[in-house]
Amino acid sequence: MKHIFLYGPSGSGKSTIGKQLANDLRLPFVDSDQIIEINAGMSIPEIVKADGMPKVRDLETEALKQIIKNGKDSIVALGGGALLRDENRTLVEQNGKVLLLKAEISTLMNRLDKDPNKRPLLAGDLEAKLKAYLDGRAWHYASFPLQVSVDNESVEAISKQAQVLAGRHHLSAMGEYDVFVGSVSNVPNLQNPIIVTDENVAKYHLEKIQNLFNAKAVVVPAGEEHKNLETVSHLWKAFLENGLDRKSTVIALGGGVIGDMTGFAAATYMRGIDWIGIPATLLSMVDASLGGKTGFDLPEGKNLIGSFHPPKLVIADPSLLLTLTERELRSGMAEVVKHGIISAPDLFAMCQRGMDWVKANLEEVVKHAMAVKIKVIEEDPYEKGFRAALNLGHTVGHAVELVSKFELRHGEAIAIGTAAEARYAARVGLASQSTVEAIESTLSVLGLPVQIPNEMPREKIIQAMRVDKKKNAKSIRFALPVEIGKVELVNVDDLESVLE
C-alpha cells in the first residue's frame, strides 16, 4: 500500500537488502541512484565532478518524485544523504515508511574497502573520511524511528526484521497474500464486496470501513456461542440475497469468531470465494486472521467443522483495538505470551512489562507477535509438524473454555491452559521451575488467570480434551514449553496427570 524506503550510510547494504526484501514481499526494487544516473546520462561521481553535490541532491529530488508518481508500491534504496534535504524527507515519509540500516564502522569499512570508487564522498583515506562522514550525520540518522541493525546478520534475517518493522509481509505457503500492519486506507477496488461483522464491532468501526470499501454489510450477534452452523447459514443466505457471485469478495471485520466463520462461509459459498481479514481484536490480529484455518463450533467441541481457506489480504490496524474492553485486550495478550514462549524471547520480555507498557506500545506488540505466527505457518502451513506448537496452552485451554460454558474468555482459558501445561512440563522434567515461574508471573502481571478454577470438575475437562479435534486414538499431543523460545511436541496418555 506504500513504499518502503531503505536509508543509511554508504556500505550499509541498502541495495543488497532491498533486493532481498523486494523478493520476499514480491515487490519491484528501485535504486534511486540508478535513476539519477539514467536521468543524468552519467555516473554519480561524474555528476559530482562536473556540477558538485548540490546537483546530485536536485537530481535525487527529481528521482524520488518520479518513483512516487509511478504509483506502484516498491522497495526503494536511497542515496546515503538523500533525506538531508527536508523536501525529500517529507516526500518519502508521506509516501511510505523509512527503514534506517544501522551499521558499525567496521562493517562499513569492510564493505567499502571492496568498492572504493563508487562513493565520491569517501574517496581517499577511507577510515578517516568514513568517521567524519558518520559523525557529521549521526544526529540525522538517529532521527529515524525505524532502525534495523545489519552487523553480523544474514541478508535474509535482516529482510525478515525489516518486514516486522515495516509491518508488511507476503505469505506464500498456503495461497499468496499480503499482510499489513497499519491504518486501513488505500484499499483495493473490489467487485460487489460485503462486510461481515458483529454487533459490537459494527457500533464502532463499520461505517468507516464500509465507506472505504464501498461495501454492503451483514451484522451478526457477537460471541463464541454464535460461532455455529446457524450463523454460517445466515451468512450464506445474506451472500445470495446480496447477489454475491464467484468474483465477489467478503470482508471479515471483527475478532476470531467473525474471521473463522466468515472465512468458512467464503470457503464454501459457490465452492469458494475470496475474503479479506480486518481483525479487530488483539487475538485475531496476532493469531486467528493468519494461517487460513476457518470454521465453526459444534455443541460437542470447538472448531470441529472447518476448512483451510486463507484470505487474500489481511489488514491489522492497531487503532481498532482502542475500543476493546480491558478484559478483551488482556485476553488477547494470552496468545501474545504464547507466541513469545514458542519462539520469541524478546516478545516475551515485552509482555513482562505489563499492561500499561503494552497499551502504550500496541503496534510494536502486534508487529512482533504477528511475525511469530507468520514464521510458524510459513514453515508448516498444514500442521504436519511444527505448526502444532501453536497449540501450546490450547489442549487444556479449549477444554476449560468449553467447560466454563464460555464464561471464560478464550484468552483467559488459554492463559490457564498455558500455565497448567507449563507446570506439567516441569513435572515431567521437560521445563525448569524458573521457566514455569516466568510464564506464570508474566501471565499474572497481565492480569490473566493461571489456575483452573477449583469448582471446575476435572473429569469434564478431560472429557472435553478427548473430544478436542487435536486428539488421536491413544494419546493427545501437547505442545509443551521447554524454555522461553522453545517448545516440544509430546504425546500424553495420562490426561489426569496434566491437571494435577
Ligand X SMILES: NC(=O)c1ccc[n+]([C@@H]2O[C@H](COP(=O)([O-])OP(=O)(O)OC[C@H]3O[C@@H](n4cnc5c(N)ncnc54)[C@H](O)[C@@H]3O)[C@@H](O)[C@H]2O)c1
Tell whether residue 81 is a contact of ligand X (CB under 6 A): no
Tell whether residue 302 is a contact of ligand X (CB under 6 A): yes
Shortest distance (Å) from residue 201 CB to ligand X: 5
81 vs 32: CA distance, rounded Å: 12
> Which position among 185, 186, 323, 497 is part of the footprint of ligand X (CB under 6 A)?
323
Nearer to ligand X, 2 or 398 (CB): 398
> Which position among 178, 198, 364, 468 is part of the footprint of ligand X (CB under 6 A)?
198
Tell whether residue 28 is a contact of ligand X (CB under 6 A): no
> Which position among 107, 284, 391, 395 is part of the footprint of ligand X (CB under 6 A)?
284
Segment 388 to 417, residues that bind ligand X, using CB under 6 A: 410
77 vs 141: CA distance, rounded Å: 15
* CB-based contact 296:227 (threshold 8 Å): yes
Q: What is the DSSP string of 446-487?
A: TT---S--TTS-HHHHHHHHHHSTTB-SS-EEEEEEEETTEE
Segment 219 to 238, residues that bind ligand X, using CB under 6 A: 222-224, 227
Nearest residue to the partner ligand X, using Cβ: 256
Strand segments (E) across 40-116: 75-77, 96-102
183 vs 208: CA distance, rounded Å: 12
215 vs 193: CA distance, rounded Å: 5
Helix (H, G, I), strand (E, B) or coil at 267: helix
Segment 325 to 384, residues that bind ligand X, using CB under 6 A: 328
Tell whether residue 256 is a contact of ligand X (CB under 6 A): yes
Shortest distance (Å) from residue 94 CB to ligand X: 28
The strand pairing partners of 306, in sequence order, are: 295
* CB-based contact 329:282 (threshold 8 Å): yes
Shortest distance (Å) from residue 196 CB to ligand X: 11
Lookup: cell for 348? 516475551
* CB-based contact 35:67 (threshold 8 Å): yes
**Maximum distance among all alpha carbons in the chain?**
84
> Which position among 23, 45, 204, 458 is part of the footprint of ligand X (CB under 6 A)?
204
Tell whether residue 218 is a contact of ligand X (CB under 6 A): no
Strand segments (E) across 337-484: 476-483
Lookup: cell for 375? 514464521
Window of 99-107, 169-177, 276-284, 465-473 that interacts with ligand X by CB under 6 A: 276-284
Tell whether residue 288 is a contact of ligand X (CB under 6 A): yes
Tell whether residue 277 is a contact of ligand X (CB under 6 A): no
Site residue total, ligand X (CB under 6 A):
29
- Which stretches of the chain bind ligand X, using CB under 6 A? 198, 200-201, 204, 222-224, 227, 254-258, 260, 280-281, 283-284, 287-288, 291, 293, 302-303, 320, 323-324, 328, 410
